[in-house]
Amino acid sequence: MTEDKRVIVCAHCGALNRAPMARLAAGERPDCGQCHKPLFSGHPIELKDAAAFDRMIGKSEIPVLVDFWAAWCGPCRAMAPEFAAAAQQVEPLALLAKLDTEAAPEVAGRFDIRGIPTMILFKNGREAKRQSGAVGRAAIAALAKS
């Protein structure tokens, strides 16, 4: 019998890591095999540009919930602590990430982001669900786990 493993992209170095689902489900938080930093920090991952976004979304085999936001957006700033708290609740079975729409407008355009904050849940590189508007940590965690 082969072990069910999932690919997790390291937010620090971009390396691809395989982790057994049974161990992730048991709450284990592995380190990257290349840079040896934790794959799960309990904090959302900052996706700095389109390349980082494409690698994280395209290669991750666990769900990734992305918060599309901007620094000038009041509701985005208000939701940020809730989003960060939800990261602690859903890891290691899902990752939470943030993408500044001002820094990567091409990604926001690709996903037709018309209002922020907007969260999109990606599974196997594809959009699975979408939620617009600021919500609390319970709703964020529920979306990430759906």
Q: Is 10 a catalytic residue?
A: no
pLDDT at 1 over 60: no
Per the structure, the complete domain to which residue 138 belongs is given by 42-145
**pLDDT given for residue 26 in this prediction:** 87
Q: What are phi and psi of 50, to 5 degrees?
A: -60, -40
Assess if residue 22 is contained within a domain.
no
Q: What is the pLDDT of residues 35-83, one digit of tens each?
A: 999 999 999 999 999 999 999 999 999 999 999 999 999 999 999 999 9
The pTM score is: 0.93
CATH code of the domain in which 136 resides: 3.40.30.10
Length of the chain: 146
Assess if residue 104 is contained within a domain.
yes
Assess if residue 140 is contained within a domain.
yes
| Structural domains of the chain, count | 1
Assess if residue 37 is contained within a domain.
no
Assess if residue 1 is contained within a domain.
no
Assess if residue 34 is contained within a domain.
no
**pLDDT given for residue 25 in this prediction:** 84
Q: Are 141 and 86 in contact (CB under 8 A)?
A: yes
Assess if residue 33 is contained within a domain.
no
pLDDT at 91 over 60: yes
Q: Annotated catalytic residue: which of 10, 13, 35, 76?
A: 76
Q: What is the DSSP secondary-structure string of 5-23? A: EEEEE-TTT--EEEEEHHH
